[in-house]
Each structure stands twice: as C-alpha cells, then as structure tokens.
Amino acid sequence: MKLAVLGATGWIGGTITQEAMSRGHEVIAVVRDASKVSQDINVRTLDITQMSAQDIATAFADVDVVIASVSGRAAQNHEVVAQTAAQLLQHLPQAGVPRLLWVGGAGSLEVAPGVTLVSTPEFPEEYKAEAIAQGEALAVFRSTDSAAKWTYVSPAAIIFPGESEAPYRLGGDEFFTDAQGQSRVSVVDYAKAMLDEAESAKHINQRISVAY
C-alpha cells in the first residue's frame, strides 16, 4: 500500500511514519519543510495554510491512503485544523485518493450522553483550544458529502512517549478508561492502531477511539 503521512515531522506523525515503514508500506512524508526530514524517505512539500486543489493533487498523487496529523499549536492557528480537514475531503477524491485517516483528539469523546470531555471542569486549560479545534474537524467529517472514505481516530486522554505497553482497545464516541480508571495509550500503540485501520478499513466514515 502507498501511504502519505501529512505532518510526518511531528511527534505523532513521525511515529506513524515509522510504523508504516516497518510494515513494508511505501511511505511518502508530506511536510511544509523538507529539510526537517532526516530519514531516507520520499518527501513532498505542502503548506496547509495556503494550499490549492492543485497543491493537494500534487502532494498526494498516486496515493492509496492519506494519514493526516495536523495541529495548529506551533503557530497558534487552531482554525487551520478544521480548514485542512474540509479541503482534504473536498480535493482528495478529485486527486484520485480514496481514503483519509485523521489523527483526532480526545476532547470530543463523550463522558456522558451529549457531554464531551473538553467541556468538563477538569479538562486542562492549556489543551482546550486544540481540543475544540479537533472537535470542529470531527464536525466537518460528520457533515461532509465527500466521496473520500474517512476514519477519525481519537487517542486516549493521555498519549505518552514510549513503546507498546499492552494490547490497545478500540471504542467509538464514548470515553473509556482502563481498570485503574485511566485513559492512556503510548504513541507507538496509537500508531499501530492507525496502521491496523489503514490496512483493514474496518471503520469507514466513523470516529474510533484508542486506549488501553
């Protein structure tokens, strides 16, 4: 399978890239600054803050699956998250790309019917803007009429550096925890879940969540 990882120089995007390569897939790193890619990999450039339909077609030509890891944190431009989702959903089918997998957030998971994690008093203030932006991206996916087959993959509330710790579990919209009442997953296990979904295509046009 030919995969393109948008945001391949980021922490999560880089881990997903490594996992995809370890499985023998042909991987393209799609990044704004090609000089930041240190590994031996095919690189294409794309600036998500000012991309056109042609830019998207060029960056993702001949790709089977796009995995997008987008954050507005560095530039404090959180609007770019939902905007990027909308543009990819609109233009990827025209470029011949059938599938889009999205690195989502945990904030939009429901702790009770209609009550999201980000809306609870305990949610850390420093992550709220990013969580809200990812919730807006999820709304874009759920309202789209795009021909692209998408999957929005929410990590646990805590995604941490490190290797595999335990078999991950998949959920849907409902926030869930382990036996200790914690919502956590390593970035490596999150990447494994993402690649498992890329390979199996079991959850088309759905949001899934990943935690121990």
pLDDT tens per residue across span 150-191: 999 999 999 999 899 989 999 999 999 999 999 999 999 999
The torsion angle over the Cα atoms of residues 11, 15, 21 and 22, rounded to 10 degrees, is 150
> Does 107 score more than 80 pLDDT?
yes
| Helices 11-22 + 187-200 axis angle, to 10 | 50
User: What 3-state DSSP class applies to 170?
Assistant: strand
Q: β-strand 115-116 against 110-112: which pairing, if any?
A: antiparallel
- pTM equals 0.96
pLDDT tens per residue across span 47-62: 999 999 999 999 999 9
DSSP 94: T
Q: β-strand 110-112 against 184-186: which pairing, if any?
A: unpaired
Q: According to the model, what pLDDT value does residue 24 have?
A: 97
